[in-house]
Copies of this chain bind each other. A is one copy, B any other.
Amino acid sequence: MEWTKENEKKLTIADVAEALGVSKTTVSRAISGKGRIGEDTRRRVLAYIQEHHYKPNVLAKGLAKLKTYNIGVLLPEDYTVVDPPFFHTCLAGIGEAALSMDYDILLTMGQENDDFQLKRMVENHKVDGVILMRTFVKDSHIEYLQSKGMPFVTVGSTHYPGVVQVDNDHRRACKDLVSVLLMKDMRRIGLVGGIESHVVTQNRLDGYLDAHKEAGVLVDKDIIHVNVAKGAMIERAVEKLLGSRVDCIACLDDAVCIHVLNKLRKENVSVPRQMKIASFYDSSILANNLPSITALSFDARKLGIEACKALLELIGGGQVKERILMGYEVVLKESTGGGANML
């Protein structure tokens, strides 16, 4: 066992070269597969490396190639309103895609308009590119990265020109969902949750409006309650909605939805008999709810994979589509009065 430990002592390319009686150049070429090299020398080197568990120092490689082999991911720090499983799953997707190119994820948390961490990561030369996990209507992160010329892609849409963005089509998804609700003769569909400065909130609102327009149903602005994040605010919004006789409450995400359901329970309002409920984002949390909740379903992992792939392409100097839009599903359940078989 001791000799094993001995071998573990960080081998360098020089050690390998010396042991094999070749130059470092040759070893380097054997590993990278670049540059002309004799087939059998290559094999010998590779065999030695395998056997002795040599692993190149990525830092050194990075310094030589002026790369870090890290991609920075900026995660929202305030997870209260959002769905943490979404970010988690999306991250897993990013990690999976990064792995395939031998990249790692450098994680950083930041708030809206707080560039500190992002700047630090970029200016310290710790990443080759960045993924922004959330987009804002006015987005200082995007502005900063563009000014730096640092490759980046956003998970979520943005109106900033020239930004590579990967997103689910929230607007169409919400439109589809709301259209179904309207077809089911719900005329007054209240809206609760979301944060105005998030692009995704805007898109959802647009989808909601689209559906109404198409159905020729007028929208009552008074039953739209955006920027209600905390539990107490949500409860108040629900109270108001109860007062304004809506048929249905659509929640901007599941966290909000849980609060809404609780409030209705407190008020002894039965779902779906007295009030229909829908959520614009479907997390695992509501999966087993009683009644089951009509919602939109997205593939967060795939989103992460696509975002990372696009970024790696960008880093490699390749071309990518500016906007990648992913699919969604409208999942009808008990909370809107129809079974899953309604679709």
Contacts and interface: CB of A to CB of B under 8 A. Distances in A.
Contacts of A59: 59, 62-63, 68, 125-126
Contact of A87 (B55, B88, B287): B88
Interface in A182-237: 231, 235
Contacts of A289: 262
A108 B106 contact: no
B105 A108 contact: yes
A179 to B, nearest CB: 29
Interface string A82-112: 0011011101100100010010111111000
A112 to B, nearest CB: 15
Interface of A: 8, 10, 53, 55-60, 62-63, 68-70, 73, 75, 77, 79-80, 84-85, 87-89, 91-92, 95, 99, 102, 104-109, 117, 120-121, 123-126, 148, 231, 235, 255, 258-259, 262-263, 265-266, 284-285, 287-290
A289 B88 CA distance: 24
Nearest to A1: B147
Given A10-B125, A91-B107, 9 more contacts: A55-B124, A56-B124, A57-B124, A70-B106, A88-B88, A92-B109, A104-B108, A104-B126, A105-B107
A287 B80 CA distance: 12
